Amino acid sequence: MSDATQGPEVIMITGASAGVGRATARAFARRGARVGLLARGREGLEGARQDVEKLGGRALAVPTDVADPAQVEAAASAVEETFGPIDVWVNNAMVSVFSPVKQMEPEEYRRVTSVTYLGTVYGTLAALRRMLPRDRGTIVQVGSALAYRGIPLQSAYCAAKHAIQGFCDSLHCELIHDKSRVRLTMVQMPALNTTQFGWVKSRLPRKAQPVPPIFQPEVAAEAIVWAAHHDRRSLMVGWPTVEAIVGNKIAPGLLDVYLAHTCFDAQMTGEPEDPGRPDNLWEPVDAGHDRGAHGTFDRRSSDTSWQLWANMHRGWLAALAGSGLAGLACVALLNRRRR
Protein backbone atom coordinates (compact mmCIF):
# COMPACT_ATOMS: atom_id res chain seq x y z
CA MET A 1 0.00 0.00 0.00
CA SER A 2 1.31 3.43 -0.89
CA ASP A 3 2.18 6.10 1.64
CA ALA A 4 3.09 9.74 1.36
CA THR A 5 6.70 8.90 0.41
CA GLN A 6 5.67 6.55 -2.36
CA GLY A 7 3.21 8.87 -4.05
CA PRO A 8 -0.32 8.14 -5.23
CA GLU A 9 -1.69 4.64 -4.91
CA VAL A 10 -1.86 2.39 -7.94
CA ILE A 11 -5.18 0.55 -8.17
CA MET A 12 -6.32 -2.24 -10.50
CA ILE A 13 -10.07 -2.72 -10.98
CA THR A 14 -11.64 -5.47 -13.06
CA GLY A 15 -15.15 -4.94 -14.38
CA ALA A 16 -14.39 -1.21 -14.27
CA SER A 17 -16.58 -0.03 -17.14
CA ALA A 18 -19.90 0.02 -15.28
CA GLY A 19 -21.71 -0.63 -12.01
CA VAL A 20 -19.67 -1.25 -8.86
CA GLY A 21 -16.36 -1.17 -10.74
CA ARG A 22 -17.17 2.20 -12.27
CA ALA A 23 -18.23 3.68 -8.92
CA THR A 24 -15.10 2.27 -7.29
CA ALA A 25 -12.86 3.81 -9.95
CA ARG A 26 -14.44 7.19 -9.22
CA ALA A 27 -13.99 6.72 -5.47
CA PHE A 28 -10.28 5.96 -5.79
CA ALA A 29 -9.87 8.81 -8.29
CA ARG A 30 -11.07 11.28 -5.64
CA ARG A 31 -8.05 10.15 -3.59
CA GLY A 32 -5.73 11.00 -6.48
CA ALA A 33 -5.04 7.36 -7.38
CA ARG A 34 -3.56 5.92 -10.57
CA VAL A 35 -6.16 3.44 -11.76
CA GLY A 36 -5.89 0.51 -14.13
CA LEU A 37 -9.32 -0.10 -15.67
CA LEU A 38 -10.10 -3.59 -16.99
CA ALA A 39 -13.29 -4.64 -18.79
CA ARG A 40 -14.45 -5.86 -22.18
CA GLY A 41 -16.57 -2.88 -23.26
CA ARG A 42 -14.51 -0.12 -24.86
CA GLU A 43 -17.14 2.63 -24.57
CA GLY A 44 -17.59 2.00 -20.86
CA LEU A 45 -13.83 1.87 -20.33
CA GLU A 46 -13.38 5.19 -22.07
CA GLY A 47 -16.13 6.72 -19.94
CA ALA A 48 -14.47 5.35 -16.80
CA ARG A 49 -11.11 6.75 -17.88
CA GLN A 50 -12.64 10.19 -18.37
CA ASP A 51 -14.35 9.98 -14.97
CA VAL A 52 -11.09 9.16 -13.20
CA GLU A 53 -9.17 11.98 -14.82
CA LYS A 54 -11.93 14.54 -14.22
CA LEU A 55 -11.89 13.64 -10.53
CA GLY A 56 -8.16 14.14 -10.10
CA GLY A 57 -6.71 10.70 -10.78
CA ARG A 58 -4.97 9.15 -13.74
CA ALA A 59 -6.19 6.11 -15.63
CA LEU A 60 -5.13 3.44 -18.07
CA ALA A 61 -7.95 1.58 -19.79
CA VAL A 62 -7.05 -1.94 -20.91
CA PRO A 63 -9.75 -3.94 -22.78
CA THR A 64 -9.60 -7.34 -21.07
CA ASP A 65 -11.66 -10.51 -20.78
CA VAL A 66 -10.74 -11.76 -17.30
CA ALA A 67 -11.67 -15.31 -18.32
CA ASP A 68 -8.37 -15.34 -20.22
CA PRO A 69 -5.41 -15.43 -17.77
CA ALA A 70 -2.99 -14.26 -20.44
CA GLN A 71 -5.02 -11.09 -20.97
CA VAL A 72 -5.15 -10.45 -17.21
CA GLU A 73 -1.38 -10.88 -16.91
CA ALA A 74 -0.75 -8.60 -19.88
CA ALA A 75 -3.02 -5.94 -18.39
CA ALA A 76 -1.21 -6.11 -15.06
CA SER A 77 2.14 -5.64 -16.79
CA ALA A 78 0.81 -2.69 -18.80
CA VAL A 79 -0.50 -0.94 -15.69
CA GLU A 80 2.75 -1.43 -13.77
CA GLU A 81 4.80 -0.21 -16.71
CA THR A 82 2.67 2.93 -16.82
CA PHE A 83 2.08 3.71 -13.13
CA GLY A 84 4.45 1.52 -11.12
CA PRO A 85 3.74 -1.23 -8.57
CA ILE A 86 0.09 -2.09 -7.99
CA ASP A 87 -0.95 -1.38 -4.39
CA VAL A 88 -4.58 -2.53 -4.47
CA TRP A 89 -6.18 -5.06 -6.80
CA VAL A 90 -9.99 -5.13 -6.86
CA ASN A 91 -11.55 -8.25 -8.43
CA ASN A 92 -15.05 -7.17 -9.42
CA ALA A 93 -15.77 -8.49 -12.93
CA MET A 94 -18.81 -10.73 -13.23
CA VAL A 95 -21.45 -12.11 -15.56
CA SER A 96 -24.62 -13.99 -14.69
CA VAL A 97 -27.65 -15.77 -16.08
CA PHE A 98 -31.14 -15.39 -14.65
CA SER A 99 -32.72 -18.76 -15.24
CA PRO A 100 -34.12 -21.82 -13.48
CA VAL A 101 -31.52 -24.56 -13.20
CA LYS A 102 -33.61 -26.89 -15.36
CA GLN A 103 -33.29 -24.45 -18.29
CA MET A 104 -29.57 -23.71 -17.95
CA GLU A 105 -27.07 -24.90 -20.56
CA PRO A 106 -23.66 -26.38 -19.63
CA GLU A 107 -21.79 -23.72 -21.56
CA GLU A 108 -23.60 -21.00 -19.58
CA TYR A 109 -22.37 -22.45 -16.29
CA ARG A 110 -18.90 -22.68 -17.79
CA ARG A 111 -18.92 -19.05 -18.91
CA VAL A 112 -20.24 -17.62 -15.62
CA THR A 113 -17.67 -19.69 -13.74
CA SER A 114 -14.86 -18.60 -16.07
CA VAL A 115 -15.57 -14.89 -15.63
CA THR A 116 -16.96 -14.55 -12.11
CA TYR A 117 -14.91 -17.19 -10.29
CA LEU A 118 -11.86 -17.96 -12.42
CA GLY A 119 -11.54 -14.30 -13.39
CA THR A 120 -11.14 -13.56 -9.69
CA VAL A 121 -8.58 -16.36 -9.36
CA TYR A 122 -6.59 -15.12 -12.36
CA GLY A 123 -6.64 -11.57 -11.02
CA THR A 124 -5.50 -12.78 -7.62
CA LEU A 125 -2.66 -14.79 -9.15
CA ALA A 126 -1.49 -11.79 -11.19
CA ALA A 127 -1.61 -9.63 -8.05
CA LEU A 128 0.28 -12.20 -5.96
CA ARG A 129 3.06 -12.52 -8.54
CA ARG A 130 3.75 -8.84 -7.99
CA MET A 131 2.83 -8.30 -4.35
CA LEU A 132 4.45 -11.32 -2.70
CA PRO A 133 8.05 -10.45 -3.69
CA ARG A 134 7.46 -6.90 -2.35
CA ASP A 135 5.69 -8.24 0.75
CA ARG A 136 2.97 -5.61 0.51
CA GLY A 137 -0.33 -4.90 -1.24
CA THR A 138 -4.03 -5.58 -0.83
CA ILE A 139 -6.39 -7.79 -2.82
CA VAL A 140 -10.09 -6.96 -2.51
CA GLN A 141 -12.60 -9.55 -3.69
CA VAL A 142 -16.06 -8.17 -4.45
CA GLY A 143 -18.33 -10.76 -2.91
CA SER A 144 -22.00 -10.96 -2.12
CA ALA A 145 -24.46 -12.18 0.45
CA LEU A 146 -24.97 -14.87 -2.20
CA ALA A 147 -21.46 -16.17 -1.44
CA TYR A 148 -23.06 -17.71 1.66
CA ARG A 149 -26.72 -18.07 0.71
CA GLY A 150 -27.80 -19.19 -2.75
CA ILE A 151 -31.13 -17.97 -4.12
CA PRO A 152 -33.36 -19.30 -6.90
CA LEU A 153 -32.85 -18.22 -10.53
CA GLN A 154 -29.17 -17.29 -10.04
CA SER A 155 -27.52 -20.68 -9.51
CA ALA A 156 -24.47 -20.02 -11.71
CA TYR A 157 -23.67 -16.68 -10.06
CA CYS A 158 -24.30 -17.96 -6.53
CA ALA A 159 -22.03 -20.95 -7.15
CA ALA A 160 -19.25 -18.71 -8.46
CA LYS A 161 -19.44 -16.42 -5.43
CA HIS A 162 -19.42 -19.46 -3.10
CA ALA A 163 -16.29 -20.63 -4.92
CA ILE A 164 -14.56 -17.28 -4.37
CA GLN A 165 -15.31 -17.55 -0.66
CA GLY A 166 -13.72 -21.01 -0.44
CA PHE A 167 -10.73 -19.89 -2.49
CA CYS A 168 -10.17 -16.97 -0.10
CA ASP A 169 -10.34 -19.24 2.95
CA SER A 170 -7.49 -21.31 1.52
CA LEU A 171 -5.43 -18.29 0.54
CA HIS A 172 -5.85 -16.65 3.95
CA CYS A 173 -4.31 -19.72 5.58
CA GLU A 174 -1.39 -19.75 3.18
CA LEU A 175 -0.62 -16.06 3.63
CA ILE A 176 -0.62 -16.52 7.41
CA HIS A 177 1.63 -19.60 7.11
CA ASP A 178 4.10 -17.67 4.97
CA LYS A 179 3.99 -14.65 7.33
CA SER A 180 3.17 -12.51 4.33
CA ARG A 181 2.10 -8.90 4.74
CA VAL A 182 -0.02 -9.07 1.60
CA ARG A 183 -3.62 -8.51 2.68
CA LEU A 184 -6.73 -10.24 1.38
CA THR A 185 -10.27 -9.13 2.08
CA MET A 186 -13.73 -9.92 0.70
CA VAL A 187 -16.54 -7.39 0.68
CA GLN A 188 -19.99 -9.02 0.81
CA MET A 189 -22.51 -6.90 -1.07
CA PRO A 190 -26.29 -6.45 -0.85
CA ALA A 191 -28.63 -5.83 -3.80
CA LEU A 192 -27.23 -2.95 -5.85
CA ASN A 193 -28.59 -0.63 -8.52
CA THR A 194 -26.10 -1.53 -11.23
CA THR A 195 -26.27 -1.84 -14.99
CA GLN A 196 -26.20 -5.65 -15.00
CA PHE A 197 -29.99 -5.98 -14.88
CA GLY A 198 -30.29 -4.34 -18.28
CA TRP A 199 -27.81 -6.58 -20.05
CA VAL A 200 -27.67 -9.85 -18.10
CA LYS A 201 -28.77 -12.97 -19.97
CA SER A 202 -32.25 -13.79 -18.73
CA ARG A 203 -34.98 -16.36 -19.25
CA LEU A 204 -37.33 -14.68 -16.83
CA PRO A 205 -40.78 -13.71 -18.15
CA ARG A 206 -40.42 -10.20 -16.68
CA LYS A 207 -37.45 -7.83 -16.44
CA ALA A 208 -34.89 -8.67 -13.77
CA GLN A 209 -34.34 -6.47 -10.75
CA PRO A 210 -32.20 -6.54 -7.59
CA VAL A 211 -34.06 -7.98 -4.59
CA PRO A 212 -35.16 -4.98 -2.48
CA PRO A 213 -33.96 -3.17 -0.45
CA ILE A 214 -31.58 -1.78 -3.05
CA PHE A 215 -28.42 0.27 -2.52
CA GLN A 216 -26.56 2.55 -4.90
CA PRO A 217 -23.18 1.35 -6.23
CA GLU A 218 -21.49 4.21 -4.38
CA VAL A 219 -22.26 2.39 -1.13
CA ALA A 220 -20.35 -0.60 -2.46
CA ALA A 221 -17.49 1.64 -3.62
CA GLU A 222 -17.21 3.23 -0.19
CA ALA A 223 -16.93 -0.22 1.37
CA ILE A 224 -14.28 -1.36 -1.12
CA VAL A 225 -12.09 1.70 -0.60
CA TRP A 226 -12.40 1.35 3.18
CA ALA A 227 -11.62 -2.38 3.08
CA ALA A 228 -8.53 -1.67 0.98
CA HIS A 229 -7.10 0.42 3.80
CA HIS A 230 -8.20 -1.45 6.93
CA ASP A 231 -7.19 -4.84 8.23
CA ARG A 232 -10.52 -6.62 8.04
CA ARG A 233 -10.80 -10.21 6.79
CA SER A 234 -14.26 -9.54 5.39
CA LEU A 235 -16.77 -6.72 5.40
CA MET A 236 -20.54 -7.15 5.21
CA VAL A 237 -22.38 -4.29 3.53
CA GLY A 238 -26.01 -3.53 4.35
CA TRP A 239 -28.34 -5.06 6.89
CA PRO A 240 -29.91 -7.44 4.28
CA THR A 241 -26.47 -9.01 3.79
CA VAL A 242 -26.15 -9.61 7.53
CA GLU A 243 -29.65 -11.10 7.65
CA ALA A 244 -28.95 -13.47 4.75
CA ILE A 245 -25.59 -14.70 6.04
CA VAL A 246 -26.57 -15.05 9.69
CA GLY A 247 -30.02 -16.43 8.87
CA ASN A 248 -28.50 -19.11 6.67
CA LYS A 249 -26.21 -20.21 9.49
CA ILE A 250 -29.13 -20.52 11.89
CA ALA A 251 -31.92 -22.01 9.76
CA PRO A 252 -30.97 -22.78 6.15
CA GLY A 253 -33.94 -25.09 5.63
CA LEU A 254 -36.44 -22.45 6.70
CA LEU A 255 -34.68 -19.97 4.43
CA ASP A 256 -35.09 -22.43 1.53
CA VAL A 257 -38.85 -22.40 2.05
CA TYR A 258 -39.03 -18.63 2.51
CA LEU A 259 -37.02 -17.93 -0.65
CA ALA A 260 -39.01 -20.49 -2.62
CA HIS A 261 -42.18 -18.52 -1.87
CA THR A 262 -40.83 -14.96 -2.14
CA CYS A 263 -37.65 -14.77 -4.21
CA PHE A 264 -39.04 -15.54 -7.66
CA ASP A 265 -41.29 -12.48 -7.89
CA ALA A 266 -38.83 -10.37 -5.88
CA GLN A 267 -36.28 -10.68 -8.70
CA MET A 268 -38.67 -9.41 -11.38
CA THR A 269 -40.35 -6.10 -12.14
CA GLY A 270 -43.86 -5.89 -13.58
CA GLU A 271 -42.54 -5.21 -17.10
CA PRO A 272 -42.32 -8.04 -19.64
CA GLU A 273 -38.82 -9.03 -20.74
CA ASP A 274 -37.82 -8.94 -24.39
CA PRO A 275 -36.49 -12.46 -25.04
CA GLY A 276 -34.54 -11.23 -28.06
CA ARG A 277 -32.61 -8.40 -26.42
CA PRO A 278 -28.79 -8.56 -26.48
CA ASP A 279 -26.95 -9.81 -23.39
CA ASN A 280 -23.35 -9.57 -22.24
CA LEU A 281 -22.63 -13.20 -21.39
CA TRP A 282 -20.28 -13.75 -24.31
CA GLU A 283 -19.68 -10.26 -25.69
CA PRO A 284 -20.01 -6.71 -24.32
CA VAL A 285 -23.19 -4.91 -25.34
CA ASP A 286 -22.22 -1.29 -24.73
CA ALA A 287 -21.27 -0.57 -28.35
CA GLY A 288 -21.95 3.12 -28.94
CA HIS A 289 -23.28 3.62 -25.42
CA ASP A 290 -21.61 4.20 -22.07
CA ARG A 291 -23.99 2.98 -19.33
CA GLY A 292 -22.16 4.47 -16.36
CA ALA A 293 -22.43 3.16 -12.81
CA HIS A 294 -26.18 3.20 -12.12
CA GLY A 295 -28.96 0.94 -13.28
CA THR A 296 -32.59 1.99 -13.70
CA PHE A 297 -33.63 1.79 -10.05
CA ASP A 298 -32.42 5.16 -8.75
CA ARG A 299 -35.74 6.13 -7.19
CA ARG A 300 -35.86 2.90 -5.18
CA SER A 301 -32.20 2.87 -4.09
CA SER A 302 -30.53 4.14 -0.94
CA ASP A 303 -27.24 6.02 -1.12
CA THR A 304 -26.34 5.25 2.51
CA SER A 305 -26.18 2.23 4.81
CA TRP A 306 -26.29 2.73 8.56
CA GLN A 307 -25.09 -0.85 8.99
CA LEU A 308 -21.98 -0.18 6.88
CA TRP A 309 -21.24 2.98 8.86
CA ALA A 310 -21.55 1.06 12.12
CA ASN A 311 -19.41 -1.78 10.76
CA MET A 312 -16.65 0.60 9.70
CA HIS A 313 -16.75 2.35 13.09
CA ARG A 314 -17.27 -0.69 15.29
CA GLY A 315 -14.05 -0.10 17.26
CA TRP A 316 -15.11 3.44 18.12
CA LEU A 317 -18.65 2.30 18.93
CA ALA A 318 -17.34 -0.49 21.15
CA ALA A 319 -15.13 2.00 23.02
CA LEU A 320 -18.08 4.35 23.42
CA ALA A 321 -20.28 1.54 24.69
CA GLY A 322 -17.54 0.45 27.08
CA SER A 323 -17.19 3.99 28.39
CA GLY A 324 -20.94 4.17 28.89
CA LEU A 325 -20.99 0.91 30.83
CA ALA A 326 -18.05 2.04 32.93
CA GLY A 327 -19.87 5.26 33.69
CA LEU A 328 -23.01 3.40 34.74
CA ALA A 329 -20.92 1.15 36.98
CA CYS A 330 -19.33 4.18 38.67
CA VAL A 331 -22.74 5.76 39.28
CA ALA A 332 -24.04 2.51 40.75
CA LEU A 333 -20.99 2.21 43.02
CA LEU A 334 -21.36 5.79 44.25
CA ASN A 335 -25.03 5.23 44.97
CA ARG A 336 -24.19 2.13 47.01
CA ARG A 337 -21.61 4.02 49.03
CA ARG A 338 -24.05 6.83 49.79
CA ARG A 339 -26.42 4.31 51.26
Q: Which residues are catalytic?
A: 157
Q: Name the β-bridge partners of 97.
A: 201
In the DSSP assignment, the letter for residue 273 is: P
Q: How would you classify residue 336: left for phi > 0, otherwise alpha for psi between -120 and 50, otherwise beta?
A: alpha
- CA 74 – CA 82 distance, rounded (Å): 12
3-state DSSP assignment of residue 39: strand
Which is nearest to 76 in space by CA: 28, 43, 33, 125? 125
In the DSSP assignment, the letter for residue 178 is: T
- Residues 6 or more apart from 197 whose CB is under 8 A from it? 207, 208, 209, 210, 295, 296, 297
Q: What is the DSSP string of 126-170?
A: HHHHHHHHHT--EEEEE--GGGTS--TTBHHHHHHHHHHHHHHHH
Q: What's the half-sphere exposure (Cβ side, CA atoms, 13 Å) at 308?
A: 24
- Residues 6 or more apart from 6 whose CB is under 8 A from it? none
The pair phi, psi for residue 75, each rounded to 5°, is -65, -40
